[in-house]
Every structure is written in C-alpha cells, then in structure tokens.
Amino acid sequence: MAERGIVILGSGSLTRSICYSLAAVCAAECVVTVVSTTPSSSAEVCYVADVRAASSGTPVRFRALSVDRYAAGSISSILREARPRIVLNCASYQSPWEKTRSPSAWTALMNRAGFGLTLPLQAAVAIEAASAIAALDPPPLFLNACFPDAVNPLLKTLELPIFCGVGNVALLAASLRESLRPARGERLQVLGHHWHLHTPDDAADEVLAWLDGTPVREVGPLLRRQRAAARSELNAVTGHVTALLLADLVTGREVRTSLPGPLGLPGGYPVRIYGRSLALDLPADMPPARAVALNSAWAERDGVSVEENGEVRFSAWASLAIRSELPGFPSTVHARDIPELCSRLLDLRGRLRRTQAASADHH
C-alpha cells in the first residue's frame, strides 16, 4: 500500500478541496498523509476526508502528521517512513486570498508589482521538498501547486526533481471542457499560463486551445464564467481536477490532460503521462519551441521570468514597485539566492502589515 501512498504538504483551502474530492473518487487502496505546521488543521482535514471516504465506500484513508517547519530534514523523515508514490506541495508563505481577506500595504504592493513578486514566497517550501525528494531512491513523483508556472522552472535550474504542477492551465482546461462539452473520446489540448486566470487586455494574447487538433475560436468568452467567479471558489474546481489526476497517477494509468510546469517548463501545456514518464502532447501545428516561447512571453506579464541559466528576472515595473519599499531590491537574482530573498520579503511583509494595523488603530 505504501507504494501507492500520497503525501500532501499543507492543510489550507486547496489541500482540503483535493482531499475531500479524493475521498470520493479514488478507487485504489491508498493512504494520503497530510503534513502541516498546524496539527489541528491537518487533523481536521483528515477527519472530514475519512468520513467522506467511508460514506462514499472508497478504500482511500487519510492520516495527519505535523512538523515544526517545512524543512528538508523534516520532510525527508516523513517520506522515508511513508514511502509514497507521489508528493504534492500545497504549502507556501503567501496566501492568494490575503488581498481580499486582509488587505494591507503589503497587498497593495503586490497589486502594483504583480503576482511574480511572490515567487520567493511560493518557492521556499517547494525547494525544501524537492531537496528531500532528490535524496530518495527511487524518488517519488513531485507535484507542485504553488505558482508552478514559475516555481517549477526554478526547481529545474537548481537541478531538483519536478514532475509537474497542478492548477492554473488545468483549471482553464476544466473550464473549457465545461463550456465545450467534448464528446467522449474527443481530445482537448490547452496551452496557457497562470496569467490567463485573468482576461488579457489584448484578445491576441488569449489562451490557446484545440479540440481534436482543430483550434478553438473565441476562447475568451468560453472562460467568462470562470473569470467572474471568486478565486476562493475556484479551489473547489482545482481541487477536484487535481484529485482526479492523483487517482490516476497513483495507479499508473495513462493520463492525457493539460498541466502547468511539466518537467520544469514555464507555463502550462497539454501532456501525456504514462507511469512515471511525462511528455508534451501538443497539436501538430504547435512545435514545442513555439509553445515554450509563448509561455515565456506570458510569464513576463506576471512580472517574473526564470531563465535556463538560473537567473530569475523581475520585470522593470515589478522592480520599481518593490524598490519603493525595499531600496536595492535586485531586478535579477540567481535561483540559489531565492531562499534569502524570501526572508527579506517576509520581513518586509511583516513591516507593511504592522504599518497597516497601526494606521487602522490610529483612526
């Protein structure tokens, strides 16, 4: 059973959605270990998921473990004991919901600088997890849910293992599937980036999709319902789609879908997975080099790009925005310096949150 196990790092909204769907759809005997820095949170997730599994009659089981922090050593100990087939990282130092639930001077800065500014905060746990996985033989498949369009290329430049991401283009593909309702056997292929969760200013920059090799026209209107929905609600879709993927991967079934950051590539692509192998599954009229170039260009719109030589480059406007609060912030850093940059951003975030709180108390 251990070889079919799954370890999930994090116990937030996405983990909950994944586990609650997995409990209902996973027909394989499987133990899902939820690892959290908040014991009560992971215990709660596993209780609800176990009840759902028992109610659904599925053989999947859930167990909660806690760590003081998501360090490579702690993660390594858990992985050696659990011997999972899959590790999924859903833990980061930046919640996507903060700007709506707890607006502050920090979230205002994120709005000005773009989501790419948070790359170091999104990547820190993924780096620790990948480092732990790299020491295992054989290593489990590593999936990353935290800004995989940029974090996965970062892991690749650090020569750390990364299989693929979840969410983002997978969410776009799921939404298009709902709009198009392809017939059984028809193949939907989607090329897109995290940036496409929002409507592009120029329709020429829209998501690309193909149905049985034929380009889908007017993709934007087909995504209108998704883009109008609250981002917190979209986790119910991302979690369910991810659960379906995990249920297939844990048994080694062939999968044809669209995923972000496959094998450390920037952005999202249609892929074919069989066992432990993954390959791009692009339509005939989209060469791989062109697909990567498009996603690299879209990455610029998010405010950050990761080069093959390991350079992480923040856009000019993102760098300008952050320097208003953190003079001397580098526009280009090497991937190996991301953990140190994460510490600096955490310090800045704490200061800006306190500034906002003090201002509110004053008024």
Do 101 and 348 contact (CB within 8 A), yes or no?
A: no
Most confident of 183-187, 239-243, 249-253: 239-243
pLDDT for position 356? 59
Structural element, H or E, at residue 280: strand 277-280
Mean pLDDT calculated for residue range 300-318: 92
Mean pLDDT calculated for residue range 345-361: 77
Residues 6+ apart with CB under 8 A from 26: 53, 58, 59, 60, 243, 246, 247, 250
Q: What is the mean pLDDT of the chain?
A: 93
**What is the pTM assigned to this prediction?**
0.94
CA 110 to chain centre: 18
Confidence category of residue 244, pLDDT binned at 50, 70, 90: very high
Mean pLDDT calculated for residue range 204-222: 96
Residue 2, pLDDT above cutoff 70: no
Beta bridge partner(s), residue 5: none
DSSP track, 213-254: TEEPS-HHHHTHHHHHS-HHHHHHHHHHHHHHHHHHHTTT--
Rounded Cα distance between 292 and 280, Å, is: 11
Mean pLDDT calculated for residue range 115-132: 96
Phi and psi at 153, nearest 5°, equal: -60, -35
pLDDT for position 3? 58
Q: Rounded to the nearest 10 degrees, what angle do helices 231-249 and 13-25 cross at?
A: 40
Percent of the chain with pLDDT over 70: 97
Do 143 and 89 contact (CB within 8 A), yes or no?
A: yes
Sign of CA dihedral 176, 191, 120, 156: positive
- What is the tens place of the pLDDT at every residue in 33-64? 999 999 999 999 999 999 999 999 999 999 99
pLDDT for position 127? 98
pLDDT for position 95? 84
